[in-house]
Structure 1
Amino acid sequence: MSFWRKIAGLAARKVDEADCDVCPPGLPGEDPAFSTAVTALGAKLAKADGQAQSSEYDTFHAVFQAEPGSEGNIRRLYQLARQTTRGFEGYARRLRKRYGTCPQVLEDVLDGLFHIAASDGVVTADELAYLERVGELFGLSPLTVRRLKATHLGAANDDPYVILGVAADASDTEVRDAWRAQLSEAHPDRARSRGLPAEFVEVAEAKAAAINAAYDQISRERRSISVGVA
């Protein structure tokens, strides 16, 4: 049975099933509490920019597909939840409490929400704040949220992770290795050794400086996150 079918009737009562501390066995899709919370979060995201369009349900349904027999129940809950963004934090906390030991499940949910937000080509500041807050409530690393944001919305050309060519949640070792490799390739001495003109050496110097600055920025940000977590 689809988890969407199991959602029937849950909108009318409190989801006590969410109040447990152990990640439930089986697939999340078989968990009514999961499906209720995901539907509510998707619906309230639609309201985050101040207006909930009926077409946004189509996008939600495309990401979190419902079986034909349960779509009516999903749509009714979605329409109810999208009236306001109030309460979204409670749903996010419930999911973390239930799936905190399964962070990939929570990341997949946030990934789907990012996809929904970006589907119309515009992600407002309010929608982004909503998504970042959900990620925080899920207990996901800020670097994971940053990677998802870059995946769906793109990253600025001056983003330090773009400069080093690594994902925002790459390990410290991966970041350091990328920095060393890029710095070795761009080092001005390589341009000099190849006998290139002075302007090429200047370009190499600027690139090396940008690589070092990117690595320094990432290091500072990660130290700040580490202190914040501690």
Structure 2
Amino acid sequence: MSLFQRLFDAIGETASTAFSGVVEAVLTVFAGDPETRRKVAFSVAVIALSAKMAKADGIVAPEEVRAFQEIFAVPQSEAKNVARLYNLAKQDVAGYQAYAARVASMCGSGETNCAMLEDVLDGLFHIAKADGLIHEKELEFIADVADIFHIDEPHFDRIMARHVHPNGIDPYAVLGLPDTASFAEVKKRYRALAAESHPDRLRGRGVPEEFLGIANDRMAALNDAFAIIEKARAAA
């Protein structure tokens, strides 16, 4: 039996009226298996935030649904269950803040700039920009979630720089460095961020396999930023 089917079987009819019941049930259904519980809780919470965020601008665009499917590449056998969870979250009247707080709690009380929560924010940005434009309401949504996640402003700015660049990518912002940084500093920061974004690191912090596409997007942004700086420094 699949993980999500076990969840639905345990919850029964309550899942048809409140997505919050699903979130609550994760802790008890998988109580004897902490690693699985962490992965399922992460998945369920991200489904909820994705559904809520897709409605932030008042429209759930087909491109946003496809973007969600890109980062949540679940097996075909789980597709109906994931769609069911997504639709429940989209219809639930409960606020997204409650779901964001549940995700944040998996990193410990008050921890700042948790790497796993950065993975979640990358996923939300990926969905928000799928229709070609990150709307103001969507950006406000993600910024509010980041605040609930205890992501400080400089760290959030670096995350945002990977996704929002209407005037062209700012490679230094992506790496979180001033443009006066030496090339040695640039290389050191690039290597550290690349190591942190490796799929094995994501697995180690409980990110399910279906979310590892996030790492590919992040690495592409880091690689582009480093290549731009390297080329500019070589030409100087």
Residue 58 of structure 2 corresponds to residue 50 of structure 1: yes
Task: Return the offset for 1:27.
Answer: 6.9
The alpha carbon displacement at 1:166 in A equals: 2.4
Deviation at 1:61, TM superposition (A): 1.2
Query: CA RMSD of the aligned region, Å?
Result: 3.3
Gaps of 5+ in 1: 183-230
Per the alignment, residue 77 of structure 1 pairs with: 85
Identity, % of aligned pairs?
Answer: 34
Between the aligned partners of 2:3 and 2:40, the Cα distance in structure 1 is 6
Quick check: 2:50–2:124 contact (8 Å CA) kept in 1?
yes
Q: Is 1:128–2:129 an aligned residue pair?
A: no
Deviations 1:152-175 (A, max 9, x none): 121657x9xx4xx523663xxx54
Does the 8 A contact of 2:51 with 2:86 survive in 1? yes
Asked if structure 2 preserves the Cα contact closer than 8 Å seen for 1:5 and 1:67, the reply is: no
Contact 1:115 1:152 in 2 (8 A): yes
Taking the aligned partners of 1:85 and 1:117, their CA distance within structure 2 comes to 21
Query: SS at the partner of 2:91?
Result: coil
Return the alpha-carbon distance in structure 2 between the equivalents of residues 180 and 71 of structure 1: 46
Shift of 1:7: 5.2
- Is the partner of 2:59 in helix, strand or coil? coil
Q: Which residue of 2 aligns with 1:140?
A: 151
Q: Is the 8 A contact 2:162 2:174 kept in 1?
A: no
Distance in 1 (CA, whole Å) between partners of 2:62 and 2:7 is 21
Quote how far apart the aligned CAs of 1:77 are.
1.5
- Map of 1:112 onto structure 2: 123
Q: How many residues align?
A: 167
Whole-angstrom distance in 2 between the partners of 1:45 and 1:179: 36
Structure with bigger RCO (C-alpha 8 Å, 6+ apart)? 2
> What is the aligned counterpart of 1:39 among 47, 53, 61?
47
Equivalent residue number for residue 93 of structure 1: 101
Using the size of structure 2 for normalisation, the TM-score is 0.59
2:7/2:22 contact within 8 Å kept: no
Q: TM-score, normalised by structure 1?
A: 0.60
Which protein shows a greater Rg? 1
Higher mean C-alpha displacement, 40-49 vs 81-90: 81-90
Asked if the contact 1:39–1:77 (Cα under 8 Å) also holds between the matched residues in 2, the reply is yes
Which residue identity is paired with 1:15? V
Q: Which of 167, 173, 181 is equivalent to 1:167? A: 173
